[in-house]
Structure 1
Amino acid sequence: MTIDPLVLMTDVEAATARLLRTAEGLEPLAVSRPSALPGWTVGHVLTHVARNADAYTNLLTWARTGVETPAYASPQARTEGIEGGAERSLRDQVVDVRESHERFADAAATMTAEAWTFFLEPTGQSAAAIPWARLREVEVHHVDLAAGYGPDEWSDAFALRLLREIVTGFGDDGFAAVLRPYGIDHPLLIGGDPDAPVVGGPTRSIAAWLSGRGDGADLTVSPDGELPVVPRWK
């Protein structure tokens, strides 16, 4: 799986175009209906996607210029930005998602090779990780619109990278599982317990289940039983 930020920006472009097509096909009143995220409407999700693009634009600007430019002014400002924009018209939401993406794409296009290596303390990674983070946000929240786009439409490469990220992101919360995605030679362990339940199935389905974007209905569990309860992710 490539981690080349410029290659990933191509994927971000395609993923954003797909999300915009979905949003443009919604009924105008759809912005006020519940999304797949508890407590959020479709308008909340679309606004978050737009503000997230601006947040990552800020981080790329920081990496390119060396001038500290936080993703958000504060956690409160992040929340207020989403709440304040959630009730806008669908047309305004679509324009916002498109224009914020263009700002992000422009910021990425001005990055030098050195700027991509700049370490961003808030993320704990170099700026080169930002395009992947943006791709993840667009693809996962596209599913959250609950408008016909599901994890089954994720690419193999995206699903596998998302799965690996989720696996490494679980902390000491007592959750343990041995994952056996189809086509992967070695299992992925969560929790470090080799005797934990073994969950097998398509990579997309496992990633969707662990991220709270799928019910795992097509997954297998060994020994026979219920799927483990997954802690909330993202």
Structure 2
Amino acid sequence: MAVTERTPGGTDGEGTAEEPHTGLQAAFTAGVARLRGLTGGLTDEALRAPSALPGWTRGHVLTHIEGVGLALARQARYALRGRTIEVYDGGRPARDAAIEAGHGRPAAQLAAALADALDEAEASWAAVGPDDWGRPVAYRDGTLRTVGLAWWRELEIHTVDARLGASPSGWSPELCTHLLDFLSVRVPGGIGLTVTAVDTGGVWTFGRGARVAVEGRLTDLAAWFAGRTPEGELAGDPLPELGTWP
């Protein structure tokens, strides 16, 4: 794998806290501020409109952001106490049930709950110091950095999924690079996939086997890897079918 850029505060994948942690925390702050700006004045009608995710309304997506924000913030809080805890009480079934129960709330109620969750996320991540990123967590049996990168992905991708005005074209080069690396496991076996960002000159090669080349803007490549619709065209003949998320 050849990678030309780096994620905030560390390496291109899950990484370690080899660089100052402020870059990742700044990404959280910017992402939360963006989402807050897009969700002001939500109406019941707007929440019932379709999102970019099949079968989910905007209410589903925003309720999911609320829940995952609280769940990952809890990972951080417990890690700072030297403890690990399940991501969701009751696991994935409880997470899914909460989304189904919460997506139909009146706009004012959902917006207030989302704002509270974002407040909690900001406070929890602000408490993480430079020496804390290697602390163990239950999430993926990883570290606080693993959780932090997950919150970054969830926040940025689902803000786009909500169809409130954000799009992948607004994703930072750092996020796009991280998504390419983290999601490279989606590249099917038996091919050597080379992706080239025509706007930045970045080149990445994943896997081994028959050579396949895909070109496009960096944000479009990242959207494709993330299972979202690129805004611009990708050049590939044909584009390989990517596997499931890790």
Q: TM-score, normalised by structure 1?
A: 0.86
Identical-pair percentage:
26
What's the CA shift for 1:26? 4.2
Alignment CA distance shift 1:103-1:62 (3 Å): same
**Code of the aligned partner of 1:42:** R
Q: Which has the higher contact order (CA 8 A, sep 6+)?
A: 2
Say whether the 8 Å CA contact 1:201–1:218 is kept in structure 2.
Answer: yes
1:181-220 maps to which residues of 2 (within 5 A)?
A: 181-182=197-198, 183-184=200-201, 186-189=203-206, 191-193=207-209, 195-215=210-230, 217-220=232-235
The code of the aligned residue for 1:197 comes to: V
Partner letter of residue 46 of structure 2? A
CA distance in 2, matches of 1:20, 1:140: 15
Contact 2:214–2:234 (CA<8 Å) still a contact in 1? Answer: yes
Counterpart of 1:139 in structure 2 is 156
Q: What SS does structure 1 have at the residue aligned with 2:140?
A: coil
Q: Which moved more, 1:79-88 or 1:118-127?
A: 118-127
Displacement of 1:152 after TM fit? 0.6
Conserved? CA contact 1:210–1:233, under 8 Å: no
1:49 pairs, out of 55, 59, 65, with 65
Q: Which moved more, 1:23-32 or 1:143-152?
A: 23-32
2:37 to 21, 27, 47: 21
For residues 191 and 138 of structure 2, the distance between their equivalents in structure 1, rounded to whole angstroms, comes to 28
Aligned residue pairs, count: 228
Of residues 87-96 and 77-86 in structure 1, the stretch that sits farther from structure 2 once superposed is: 87-96
Q: Structure 2 vs 1, CA of residues 228 and 31 (structure 1 numbering), >3 Å: closer, same or farther?
A: same
**Unmatched runs of 5 consecutive residues or more in structure 2:** 1-5, 10-19
1:148 matched to which residue of 2?
A: 165
Is 1:65 aligned with 2:77?
no
State the 4+ residue runs in structure 1 displaced beyond 4 angstroms: 171-176
Q: 1:153 to 1:69 in 2, by over 3 A?
A: same
2:116 is equivalent to residue 104 of structure 1 = no
Paired residue type of 1:202: R
Structure 1: gaps spanning 5 or more residues: none
Note the aligned Cα RMSD (angstroms): 2.3
Counterpart residue type for residue 121 of structure 2: F
* 2:140 alignment counterpart: 123
8 Å Cα contact 1:54-1:71 kept in structure 2: no
